[in-house]
Chains A and B, each alone.
Chain A
């Protein structure tokens, strides 16, 4: 998996909430990365246990952060996964759907790490 040149996130909404102070933005980015990491683990565990509801819960928790960080290419996907337990057909592809989602999330995380390197 390589890092995309295309910006996978947009911080406009975040600026609306916290202004453009670099320090605050960095703080929020760190919180996003921390929460993405936690949710990724939760999602993978639920997936391993074949627990679509658990996967959905983890997606539900990540949804607002993805919206705030303008991760538009995951906005639709996260909402589908949130309700995956209601769709038997999708449940059959749970592992593939989750893997696809987490791969894309990893790209966003990598890009953020790159753009906001740890001090």
Chain B
């Protein structure tokens, strides 16, 4: 940590000089003495770590100086060191945000050293927290966590990048296991809100009767069992991002409450009268088709349009072609590192087997499958026999989609193009069709 800068604001020159001399005995302390409030305020740009204020200054009262300081930078701890032995003055100052208040008596120096120690510890903790937040930010740098190079995923990168630059609500859709929460985190940790909280709520996991209190908090005694005041997820996410997963599971009553909070940007805790302003960026996710839910009357249309914001539709893994292999290698590397195993490779046959599977559980399923394969193999190579599918045959999975013949044709060609790096000649040969058929379909954007 850098030096600890202390401002002493004291018009009693003897007392001020004596404190300055005393606190400078620790060479880590950089102590500055000011004789009045204005001088202290003029120097706030030097970002002191602590300010001591005499209550009776020649140009303004300690309370006025403190109010200015708090307006400029509420984080700076202000300690009042005063000759006033009046309890009500002390209470007023403490209520207004003074870190501490003490009278100029024999204990002043010990109390100051204790306060400095506490503030230094707090600053160290804050700096540790900031370092950790930076690390999390780097961890969630989206190209580090969302692996792949397919056109579908490159499009997602573009959208994520756009989402990080504004506060627009983002709605992430996609099948289970496609990485909706990962996308939400990537947006949060790459946005200006990165140092503020990311709060994730799985709406479907909260019992209906508790959801309002979970989201908006409650006051003590507002219902049986509310033994203390509790802040809700919105308040916890203040300044940061609130991720509402499975938003499609929210009941209509709660939807109307959520709509009000989003529109007004303020809330009342359950059983409370106080209106609390909130500044929260919303990211919602669902694996349901919300417009269908609106049509069915299960989702409010006004809320749907409020939440739609920037839609990001995550592609199923089966449409991401070679990304399957990129992800498989990423997961096997991660698993080996985490478990201190030797680096492993995936055989060509195992890769072929992976490429032929539909992955109904998407990336989550692939990860579990690869980790199991890494455990099953006795060598440094994961081979096809180590890959076990959980969801029936490849053909069954494919047919389960219930597409039209043309859609199947299109998907088959897309699949082969991804698999063989858009080599039309090779794909035509593999599928035993003319290459002009494929070119025509591409030209007509049917693939």
Contacts and interface: CB of A to CB of B under 8 A. Distances in A.
A35 B25 CA distance: 24
B22 A18 contact: yes
B21 A65 contact: no
Interface in B382-441: none
A68 B14 contact: yes
Interface string A70-94: 0000000000000000000000000
Contact of B15 (A16, A19, A60, A64): A64
Nearest to A18: B21
B105 A65 contact: no
A14 interface: yes
A10 to B, nearest CB: 13
Given A60-B56, A64-B104, A17 B13 contact: no
B135 interface: no
A65 B12 contact: yes
B105 A28 contact: no
A63 B173 CA distance: 71
Contacts of A19: 25
A24 B19 CA distance: 12
Contacts of A57: 56
Contact of A60 (B22, B83, B105, B109): B83
Interface residues of B, number: 17
A9 interface: no
A63 B83 contact: yes
A100 interface: no
A113 interface: no
Interface in B206-242: none
Interface in B335-354: none
Contacts of B106: 13, 67
A19 B56 CA distance: 28
Interface string B58-89: 00000000000000000000000001000000
| Residue of A18, A34, A35, A64 with most partner-chain B CB within 10 A | A64
- Chain A contact-residue range equals 20 to 34
A16 B83 contact: no
B17 interface: yes
B375 interface: no
Interface in B12-49: 12-15, 17-19, 21-22, 25
Contacts of B14: 28, 31-32, 35, 64-65, 68
A17 B83 contact: no
B54 to A, nearest CB: 9
A27 interface: yes
B83 A68 contact: no
| Secondary structure type dominating chain A contacts | helix
Contacts of B21: 17-18, 24
B15 A68 contact: yes
Contact of B18 (A14, A61, A63): A14
B272 to A, nearest CB: 44
A17 B12 contact: no
A98 to B, nearest CB: 19
Interface in A1-24: 13-14, 16-19, 24
Given A17-B22, A18-B22, A64 B17 contact: no
Contacts of B15: 64-65, 68
B201 to A, nearest CB: 55
Contacts of B13: 31, 34-35
Nearest to A21: B21
B22 A35 contact: no
B109 A17 contact: yes
Interface string A29-64: 001101100000000000000000000010011011
Contacts of A17: 18-19, 21-22, 109
Given A13-B106, A67-B105, A28 B12 contact: no
A31 B10 CA distance: 14
A77 B64 CA distance: 31
Given A17-B22, A27-B17, A31-B17, A61 B104 contact: no
A91 B25 CA distance: 44
B325 to A, nearest CB: 72
Nearest to B85: A79
13 contacts: A24-B21, A28-B18, A32-B14, A35-B13, A60-B56, A61-B12, A61-B56, A63-B104, A64-B14, A64-B15, A64-B83, A64-B104, A65-B12
- What 7 A-B pairs are tightest by C-beta distance, nearest first? A31-B14, A64-B104, A17-B22, A65-B14, A18-B21, A64-B15, A17-B18
Interface of A: 13-14, 16-19, 24, 27-28, 31-32, 34-35, 57, 60-61, 63-65, 67-68
Given A32-B14, A34-B13, A67-B104, 7 more contacts: A28-B14, A31-B13, A57-B56, A61-B83, A63-B104, A65-B12, A68-B18
